[in-house]
Amino acid sequence: MELLTTIKGVRGLVAEAKAKGKRVGFVPTMGALHDGHISLVKAAREQCDFVVVSIFVNPTQFGPGEDINAYPRPLDNDLTRCKENNVDVVFAPSTEQMYPQKNLSWVEVEKLAEPLCGRNRPTHFRGVTTVCTKLFNIVGPDIAYFGQKDAQQAIVIRRMVEDLNMPLEIIVCPTVREKNGLAMSSRNKYLNDEEKKQATLLYAALQECEVLIAAGMLDSKNLTEEMRKLLALGKDIKIDYISIVNADTIEEIEIVKGKVLVALAAKIGPARLIDNVLLNV
Amino acid sequence: MELLTTIKGVRGLVAEAKAKGKRVGFVPTMGALHDGHISLVKAAREQCDFVVVSIFVNPTQFGPGEDINAYPRPLDNDLTRCKENNVDVVFAPSTEQMYPQKNLSWVEVEKLAEPLCGRNRPTHFRGVTTVCTKLFNIVGPDIAYFGQKDAQQAIVIRRMVEDLNMPLEIIVCPTVREKNGLAMSSRNKYLNDEEKKQATLLYAALQECEVLIAAGMLDSKNLTEEMRKLLALGKDIKIDYISIVNADTIEEIEIVKGKVLVALAAKIGPARLIDNVLLNV
């Protein structure tokens, strides 16, 4: 495995791999790798001949007052996990390497980036789409892998790739969960034991929603009301949003039907956590 | 020469060329090719092994009430000129091919796209940067060629390519002019003989500015005043702007110094024309 910190370096190695006809798989991450990330690496390893993982805590996707400084950066551990999973190249650039001058150029996806997490994090997705564009242009992958846990991110990036004719495929892999149902997230590290216990209510609420829909409750308002009640059991849970939306357009729906995304975000202690389920009703 | 209308088609031919180690040069145009465009094709032909010209009148860079319907589309003539100049591929997609669904994803370059032409055409550059991103992603060139006549466009695109790490080089070629000094433009076709005569005043004003600067007049206000007086000789000339700006940042400068762009835009009859000179003072 090669650890590279320069754009030139990673371009060189990928060009060599491509010249040998290798299919390049790419997993962009902010590090603090957990089994969710590793599931993406494994998918890339299975479907591609050359696997690149990037580790970059991207400043442009954090808003003012958000947790960029607190964000965990256990690089040695990340490198060990990449090595164990037969990654070919880890690209871990500095901020200066990625943003050598004030960034003036932004990729924005209208409408899809505005609801849900976009409401309280208005510049978040523009930071994500911009850094993904940069990373795609640097690495030049055939396939890039994202997690379903970040459902809106996956939808926004898919649309960006379509609209801008980016020459790669996006594959979205299922959310990986702890045994207790909590979706794996680098931000789970912020939680103490009590908060972690309460955090399991997030997925419990989503499962409840799924059960209620199966039982015939199709009114979004009633469904979110039930989820709110369940989440109220966690005294430290501050709900940001609970939304039931069309899974393609992210538009709120009143009566559940078709491909539906049930998504929520909540603060629990110092952590803002998100989770979702994708349903076909 | 191959004429292709599909993204898949052009990708296939470029991939073949690249597999043979060919260097790909790309000239994006809106057609109505004149000697200015052809100078870009010739530069590409000289510096690259495989030359792609795109012809696409891009709707997203026209504002409401602008001349998209009137814009000339002499495709047969364009193809003849491309063939004469040994172009390998002409990519002439339909609007549906380029925008199969409502475009939600935009590439925007802050600050640089706002002054000069950006002031009266607020969505113009976002249309240009977005379609160029799409075309670069479709064609995958090593070098793309632009004309100095569209000075602000060249500056905006260079910055976009830098900021977003697009894997290509931008080369800007000098403005090509008629014998009377008028900068070649597809929009010159809109002018009648009388208007064409007046249009030569645009470059005359820029030359006057250059002469005055050489003679020691360095105050932008005085210089633009002199240019205004000269342009007043053309009774049908309606000035949009005359600006003297830093050639990298496009910021207005009071006292002329260093790399300076003197740029102007004016309506003459039905045509909105632009021109500029780049000076090192």
Model confidence over A268-277: pLDDT tens digits?
A: 999 999 999 9
Q: How far is B52 from chain A (nearest CA, A)?
A: 17
When the candidates are 3.40.1280.10, 3.60.21.10, 3.40.50.620, 3.40.190.170, the CATH number that belongs to B2-173 is 3.40.50.620
Is residue A245 within 8 Å of residue A115, measured between CB atoms?
Answer: yes
Which residue reads 């790309």 in tokens?
Answer: B26
**Which chain A residues have a beta carbon less than 8 Å from that of B132?**
none
Q: How far is B140 from chain A (nearest CA, A)?
A: 9
**What tokens appear for B152 in the block?**
């602000």
Q: What is the ipTM of this complex?
A: 0.97
Q: How far is B72 from chain A (nearest CA, A)?
A: 26
pTM above threshold 0.95: yes
Alpha-carbon distance A115 to A243, whole Å?
9
Which B residues in the span 55-94 are in contact with A, Cβ-Cβ below 8 Å?
none
Question: Any chain A CB within 8 A of the CB of B138?
Answer: yes
The packing angle between helices B193-214 and B220-231, to 10°, is 150
User: Which of B18, B22, B104 to mutate to test binding with chain A, by most A CBs within 10 Å of its CB?
Assistant: B104
Give me the long-range contacts of B3-7 (CB less than 8 A, separation at least 24). B3/B79, B3/B89, B3/B90, B3/B92, B4/B89, B4/B90, B4/B91, B4/B92, B5/B91, B5/B92, B5/B93, B5/B94, B5/B97, B6/B93, B6/B97, B7/A165, B7/B93, B7/B97, B7/B138
A174-212: pLDDT as tens digits:
999 999 999 999 999 999 999 999 999 999 999 999 999
Please list the residue range(s) of chain B that carry CATH number 3.30.1300.10. 186-280
Element (H, E) at A46: helix A35-47
**What tokens appear for A119 in the block?**
């409401």
Tell me the average pLDDT of chain B.
Answer: 97
User: Which of B18, B26, B104, B105 to mutate to test binding with chain A, by most A CBs within 10 Å of its CB?
Assistant: B105
When the candidates are 3.30.1300.10, 3.40.50.720, 3.10.450.30, 3.40.50.300, the CATH number that belongs to B186-280 is 3.30.1300.10
A219-228: pLDDT as tens digits:
999 999 999 9
A12-67: pLDDT as tens digits:
999 999 999 999 999 999 999 999 999 999 999 999 999 999 999 999 999 999 99
Please list the residue range(s) of chain A that carry CATH number 3.40.50.620. 2-173
pLDDT of residue B23: 98
Question: Any chain A CB within 8 A of the CB of B29?
Answer: no
How is residue A186 annotated by DSSP? G
* Yes or no, beta carbons of B163 and A104 under 8 Å apart: yes
B83-138: pLDDT as tens digits:
999 999 999 999 999 999 999 999 999 999 999 999 999 999 999 999 999 999 99
